[in-house]
Structure formats: structure tokens, C-alpha cells
Amino acid sequence: MVYAQIPDIIVGRLPRYLQVLTWMLSDGIQTTSSQDLGERIGISAAQIRKDLSQFGEFGKQGTGYSIPFLVNQIQAILNVKQVWNIALIGAGDLGHAIARYQGFANRGFRIAMVFDIDQNKIGREIGEFIIQDIAAMVETIRSADIKIAMITVTAQSAQGVAEKLVEAGIKSILTYAPVPLKLPPGIFIQYIDPIIQLQHMTYYLGN
């Protein structure tokens, strides 16, 4: 099967599949069908079959998909059989919550270091980490060969921090700051802003 060029929209659905499949597995379910999976996720059975068939023939006619097998395949496709180290920038309330979150481990990630600019925070502990001075960030991240960063600093600081991260060799950034980042091509950026999602819903709530 030729690995062609997979549309990004399909890649974006794979983590969702993985999430649900893992959840099913923890419920003791070993097998599923495109129909069943589709209902759980809220998309059509045809779409699931088409998506998965981009990467190989993972199912069996008449019986469906083996969940452990499928989980394995998707983990491999998404490169999360390994554990990725993440640098977390910003040790405010949100940074604290992320640093202490226990859900990264079995999904392919690990917070490896935490930085902040506030002298009162530097040196303090947060979860199992010691907050490091952002002044040393570029060098520290580069020598640890970390490729992924999460940003929880203020909107004002985000762009500056992001530029330093690129300098440090970071390739993927997940930012919680509600501002668009302008970075060189080749850097992947994802945004999390709960208010954007709330406003999407209030449109339908009428007035």
C-alpha cells in the first residue's frame, strides 16, 4: 500500500479514534466495527472505513476490527509508541495543572521541564519539577533535544517565547495564549482557547 500523501483532515481524526479505542479497551471491549466506532465518535461508518483504509487493511470482513491491533497501528502511525519529552513554558495556575496532570504518560508524552520568567517562582517545585529560569531556556531545551513545547504564558509574552522556542529547535508548539503566533514555515502550531469553543456554542444558544 502506497503511503501517498494523507490529507491533514484525516490525520487530525486519528487521535480521536485512538482516544475512543483506548477507552473501549479499558472497558474490556476487544472488537468493534466501523458502525459502532462511528456512533461513539459521531461520524459515519463509511468515513471511518475510508480513513483507516488509507493506512492499510486493518479490518476483517464480517467481524470488524480488533481493538488492540488497531490501537497499535494508530499509535505507530502517529509516532506515539515512543514517549515525547515536552517543555512547558509558564508556571502559572494552568502550567501547574498541566505539570501535575497524570494523563500524558500512557498517551505518548511526558512533561520534562518547566520554565518561568518570575524570579519568585524559579527554583520552586511544581509536581516533580523545579521551575527553571526562562533565561536559560534556549540552551537547556536544545541540549535536551526536545521538539515539543506547551506555552501557558500571557498573551503579551507568547510571541516572544515562541520565537525563542524556535531558536531552541522546537518543532511543535501547543499554545494556550489567545493570540495567533507568527513563526517560520515548518513549525507546527496548535491552539487551545476554551473561549473560542464557548463562543462557537453561544451562537446557537440565541439571545
Partner DNA sequence: CATTGTGAACGGGTTCACAGCA
Partner DNA sequence: TGCTGTGAACCCGTTCACAATG
In the complex, which residues of this chain contact its own copies (CB under 8 A)? 11-12, 14-16, 18-20, 23, 40-42, 77-80, 82, 84, 86, 92-94, 96-98, 100-101, 103-104, 107-109, 147-148, 150, 155, 171-172, 174, 178-180, 182, 188, 190, 192-207
Binds 80, which of its own copies, DNA, none (CB < 5 to 8 A, cut-off by type)? its own copies
Question: Is residue 10 part of the contact set for DNA (CB under 7 A)?
Answer: yes
- Shortest Å, Cβ 57 to DNA: 4
Instruction: Pick between residue 77 and residue 134 the one whose CB is nearest to its own copies.
Output: 77
Mask 48-67, x = binds DNA (CB under 7 A)?
A: -xx-xx---xxxxxxxxx--
φ, ψ at 151 (rounded to 5°): -110, 125
Between the CA atoms of 71, 76, 82 and 88, what dihedral angle is there, to the nearest 10 degrees? -80
Beta-bridge partners for 115 = 89, 132
- Shortest Å, Cβ 3 to its own copies: 12
Instruction: Pick between residue 52 and residue 150 the one whose CB is nearest to DNA.
Output: 52
Binds 72, which of its own copies, DNA, none (CB < 5 to 8 A, cut-off by type)? none
Binds 147, which of DNA, its own copies, none (CB < 5 to 8 A, cut-off by type)? its own copies
Question: Phi-psi category of 126—alpha, beta or left, where left has phi over 0 and alpha has psi -120 to 50?
Answer: beta
Choose among 148, 143, 190, 177: nearest CA to 165: 148
- Shortest Å, Cβ 194 to DNA: 22
Binds 196, which of DNA, its own copies, none (CB < 5 to 8 A, cut-off by type)? its own copies
- Shortest Å, Cβ 90 to its own copies: 11
- Shortest Å, Cβ 77 to DNA: 14
98 touches 152 (CB < 8 A): yes
